Amino acid sequence: MDTKLNMDKETDIFKVFLAHWINHTGDHIEGYREWAEKLKGTSKDNVSQEIFLAIDKMREAQKKIMEAKLRF
């Protein structure tokens, strides 16, 4: 019985983490996008381009976490 209760608790905690990770990743993406926009067209345009590429990968990761949440 203790194992079942513990698993239920762990499941509830994991659901909270999934939601947090999805939202928190979105917050980071927005911050990165703001800085990439500031650097765009400057002498650091190459940095901006790399940040935009990283944002694309983060969005892919965020989507996978969302899919995992739906399957959980």
The tens digit of pLDDT for each residue in 23-60 reads 999 999 999 999 999 999 999 999 999 999 999 999 99
Task: Tell me how far apart the alpha carbons of residues 20 and 3 are, in angstroms, rounded to a whole number.
Answer: 25
Q: How far apart are CA 18 and CA 60, in angstroms?
A: 15
- 68 lies in some domain: yes
1 in any annotated domain:
no
Tell me, what amino acid is at 70?
Answer: L
**Residue-range definition of the domain harbouring residue 69:** 29-72
Q: How many domains does the chain have?
A: 1
pLDDT at position 46 is 98
Give a yes or no: residue 17 inside a domain: no
- Residue 34 placed within a domain: yes
In a domain, 24, yes or no: no
**7 occurs within a structural domain:** no
Task: Please tell me the pTM assigned to this model.
Answer: 0.79
